[in-house]
Chain A
Amino acid sequence: MALSNQQVTEIKRARSPLARQLDSGFVWLTGMFAVGVALVLVAIAVRVGWEALPAIQQFGAGFLTSSRWDPVEDIYGALPQIYGTLVSSLIALLIAMPIGIGVAIFLSEDFLPNKIQRPIVFMVELLAAIPSVVYGLWGIFVLIPILRNMGVALNAGLGWIPLFSTRPTGPGMYVAGVILAIMILPIIAAISRDALVAVPPELRQASYGLGATRWETLFKVILPAAFSGIVGGIMLAMGRAMGETMATTMVIGNANKINPSLFDQGSTIASLLANQFAEASGLQISSLMYAAFVLFLITLIVNVLAELVVRRVRMKV
Chain B
Amino acid sequence: MLAKTDTVIHTNDLNIYYGDFLAVRDVSIAIPNNAITAFIGPSGCGKSTVLRCFNRLNDLIKSFRLRGNVQYHGQNLYAPEVDPVEVRRRIGMVFQKPNPFPKSIYDNIAFGPRLVGYKGNMDELVERSLRGAALWDEVKDKLKESGTALSGGQQQRLCIARTIAMQPDVILMDEPCSALDPISTLKVEDLLQELKEKYTIIIVTHNMQQASRSSDYTAFFNVEQTPKGRTGYIVEYDRTEVIFQSPKEQATQAYVSGRFG
Contacts and interface: CB of A to CB of B under 8 A. Distances in A.
B115 A206 contact: no
Interface in A277-310: none
Nearest to B165: A210
B154 interface: no
B62 A211 contact: no
A217 B65 CA distance: 23
Interface string A207-228: 1111111001000110011000
A317 B112 contact: no
Nearest to A213: B85
B150 to A, nearest CB: 15
Contacts of B116: 211
B255 to A, nearest CB: 28
B102 A225 contact: yes
B88 interface: yes
B88 to A, nearest CB: 4
Interface string B106-139: 0100011001100000000000000000000000
A110 B95 contact: no
Given A203-B101, A216-B115, A317-B103, A209 B93 contact: yes
B97 A202 contact: yes
Interface residues of B, number: 28
Nearest to B61: A110
Contacts of A317: 102-104, 107, 146
A119 interface: no
Interface residues of A, number: 20
A212 B101 CA distance: 13
B60 A208 contact: yes
Contacts of A204: 60
Interface string B65-102: 00000000000000000000110110011010101111
Given A110-B62, A317-B103, A317-B146, A211 B88 contact: yes
A209 B164 CA distance: 12
Given A202-B97, A317-B102, A209 B111 contact: no
Given A110-B62, A212-B115, A317-B146, A206 B104 contact: no
28 contacts: A202-B95, A203-B99, A205-B93, A206-B159, A207-B101, A209-B55, A209-B57, A209-B95, A209-B163, A210-B89, A210-B92, A210-B115, A210-B162, A210-B166, A211-B85, A211-B89, A211-B112, A212-B112, A212-B115, A216-B115, A220-B111, A221-B101, A225-B101, A225-B102, A317-B102, A317-B103, A317-B104, A317-B107
Interface of B: 55, 57, 60, 62, 85-86, 88-89, 92-93, 95, 97, 99-104, 107, 111-112, 115-116, 146, 159, 162-163, 166
